[in-house]
Amino acid sequence: MIGLGIMGLIQRGFTPIWTGVPKGMPAREALAYLCAFISLGSGIGLLWRRTAVVASGVLLASLLLWMLLFRAPLVFRAPFATVTWWACGETALMAAAAWVLYGGDKGLRIARVLFGLALIPFGVAHFTYLDRTIGMVPGWLPWHAAWAYFTGCALIAAGVAVLIGVCARLAATLAAVELGLFTLLVWVPVIVAGPDASQWSEFVVSWALTAGAWVVADSYGGVPWVGLTRSRAFSDQRFASAG
């Protein structure tokens, strides 16, 4: 989040998490600076336990408001455009992570739903942008097309598993691993080779999404790796009441 804030201030514009603002909107530049300061301030706040709850709350409120005002309208305008759903997925995943950090049992359930919904357009994009996906597979790996199909299907399957509560912990963890490997294998070599501004932005966003996915995956601590998440929670509650 600190990286996103710094980039926003340097570029004097919206970073990928904060896009979708109409060009003719009044005070558009001021809003871009506000988003940069929210990213920077919340990122710094998350580094300390005493300020983490406040920082995550500010970030959560900002992301949910952004989704309502600038993401949802884009979906209604272009419901079949993958890029709009991808943008919603980015915001939803970051909001899910902020909600987990903010706390609350009810919020945790909503956060996991947001996370599951976010993974599905990520997977779909592997197929709608198949050529680009294949081109991003590291050259030393064989069967580039097969990897593109496999990783896309894996993200969709993980999203569905999280939504229905079947093997949700395993699905969330594997999704976080996949996003982490994508950051490591695709974007780190680009950064080492000398990126341009756009590639720096993509790297930081991928890093942030990976961190957000790990936050949500970690929220399943104590839940069995395989099985029905809701059934286990109900069972634990029943036994606790009986005790």
Q: What is the pLDDT of residues 172-203, one digit of tens each?
A: 999 999 999 999 999 999 999 888 888 888 99
Burial 189-223 (b: 16+ CB within 10 A, else e): eeeeeeeeeeebbbbbbbbbbbbbbbbbbebbeeb
Would you say the pTM of this structure is higher than 0.85?
yes
With respect to residue 12, please indicate whether it lies within any of the assigned structural domains: yes
With respect to residue 242, please indicate whether it lies within any of the assigned structural domains: no
pLDDT, position 40: 96
User: Closest Cα partner for 86 from 200, 206, 214?
Assistant: 206
State the Cα angle at 163 between 157 and 168, rounded to 5°: 70
With respect to residue 243, please indicate whether it lies within any of the assigned structural domains: no
With respect to residue 236, please indicate whether it lies within any of the assigned structural domains: no
| Percent share of the chain, pLDDT over 70 | 94
Give the tens place of pLDDT for each residue, 79-126: 888 888 999 999 999 999 999 999 877 789 999 999 999 999 999 999
Q: What is the spatial distance between Cα 221 and Cα 52, in angstroms, rounded to a whole number?
A: 20
- Do 204 and 3 form a contact (C-beta atoms < 8 A)? yes
With respect to residue 189, please indicate whether it lies within any of the assigned structural domains: yes
Q: Alpha carbon 148 to chain centroid distance?
A: 19
With respect to residue 239, please indicate whether it lies within any of the assigned structural domains: no
Number of compact structural domains in the chain:
1
With respect to residue 22, please indicate whether it lies within any of the assigned structural domains: yes
pLDDT, position 243: 42
Which amino acid does the sequence have at 201?
S
With respect to residue 238, please indicate whether it lies within any of the assigned structural domains: no
pLDDT, position 228: 79
pLDDT, position 128: 92
List the single range of 64-68, 139-143, 155-159 with lowest mean pLDDT.
139-143
Confidence grade of residue 148 (pLDDT, cut at 50, 70, 90): very high
Q: What does the CA dihedral 158, 163, 169, 174 come to, rounded to 10 degrees?
A: 10
Domain span holding position 194: 2-229
On average, the pLDDT of the chain sits at 89
